[in-house]
Amino acid sequence: MTTPITALVNGRVLTDHGPRDGLVVLVRGERIEAIVHSDDPRVTGAQQHDLKGRLLLPGFIDVQVNGGGGVLFNAEPTVEALATIGAAHRKYGTTGFLPTLITDTSDVMRKALDAVDAAIEQGVPGVLGIHLEGPFLATARKGIHDASLFRLPSAEDLAAITRNRRGVVMLTLAVEEVPLDTIRQLSEAGVLVVAGHTAATYAGTRAALDAGVCGFTHLYNAMTPLGSREPGVVGAALDDPHSWCGLIVDGHHVHPVALRVAIAAKAKGKSVLVTDAMPPVGSDSPEYVLNGQTIIARDGICQSDAGVLAGSALDMATGVRNLVDMVGLPLAEASRMASAYPAAWLGLDRTHGRLVAGQRADFAVLDDGLVVKETWISGVRYDA
């Protein structure tokens, strides 16, 4: 039996040149069948869904999601928790994400890896893989992480991380703490090795890039800054044309001027919006417990009592708005930083991140204020 076509009509489809009226997105099953003009005969014969003049963007892809919906992945490394986190974030247009486990024990890390595998096998919407942010980090740049759990990767750790997994595996590590041969081994096994929470020099970071590091976790935060005589990790990140940089665009982690500098310095397509989101996103409660500390999100800032940033209360739709309003980017480029560019970083650009025929039918439908009203994942519609 042929799968019927759904036509998304009366929307403003975001193209590379900005929003365009008069285009219709045809969806068959999980995929985009075609994007056509409204007078195309296939539109008449399809089941029509009225977008009511709203913007249609590619669904957002977030490579750093610690929690949402009141759930912290570290506290509940289960399939059920992943479903809750995913449901919280899809209210804000996120159609794909990497659940992120911050520094924890080997046992919790293995449970998290297995939970993500099981979630993908069971079809939990949006789960694309896992991001392990630690525990191979530098005490000098620990941030909110529990430094008592920092360690060098053991043979058992490496076996668990490099085992054939169902989704993407991203690993944030301090490049000065992990031997270059281990970085090379991880990269050659298909792990996306990313520098973060690191006190490395420019030279050390450059060597790690040559060994297989492909990006930087929350650029500027928890890494050596750019200096005039020692460019540091930030200098290596901005100078390298091939690596990706995650940016938390909440107005608290990074000043808008520093964001503009980074985006201008990086090659086009290498700056990626991330949230570093914590349980308050999509939850009525601003509180969560991390490493035994109660964190309360106030005015959009998640901080410990000592003033240390503890993730964020940011969602991807707000991040896109901030890129437009705070940083001054055109909507089309802000959208790409939230969809096409992270898809490319994850090696999923053939199937995710753009509005073209053959891609997964993952959409964010926004009103004129860039507030999400609908989210579509693999052709299934969810109200915000």
Annotated binding site for substrate: 144, 221-222, 229, 253, 309-311
Query: What pairing do the DSSP bridges indicate for beta strands 94-102 and 12-15?
Result: unpaired
Distances (CA, A) of 144 to 100, 133, 140, 192, 288: 14, 12, 11, 23, 13
Is 276 annotated in the active site?
yes
- Return the structure tokens found at 208: 């790690």
Nearest to 76 by CA among 305, 342, 299, 289: 289
CA 72, distance to chain mean position in Å, is: 16
- Return the structure tokens found at 294: 């109660």
Provide the residue type at 51 as one letter. Answer: L
Sign of CA dihedral 133, 137, 139, 140: negative
Binding-site annotation: residue ranges for Zn(2+): 133, 197, 218
232 in the Ramachandran plot: left (φ > 0), alpha (ψ -120 to 50) or beta? left
Binding-site annotation: residue ranges: 133, 144, 197, 218, 221-222, 229, 253, 309-311
DSSP labels, 71-97: EETTT--SHHHHHHHHHHHHTTTEEEE
Separation of alpha carbons 172 and 160, rounded Å: 15
Separation of alpha carbons 97 and 93, rounded Å: 11
Within the chain, where are the H helices?
Answer: 41-44, 79-90, 106-122, 155-162, 180-188, 202-211, 232-239, 256-265, 316-322, 331-337, 340-345
Provide the residue type at 15 as one letter. Answer: T
Contact between residue 18 and residue 331 where contact means Cβ atoms under 8 Å apart: yes
Cis, peptide link before residue 135, omega less than 30° from 0: yes
- Return the structure tokens found at 49: 């869904």
Q: Which of 117, 276, 315, 362 is catalytic?
A: 276
Contact between residue 279 and residue 306 where contact means Cβ atoms under 8 Å apart: no
Catalytic residue numbers, as ranges: 276
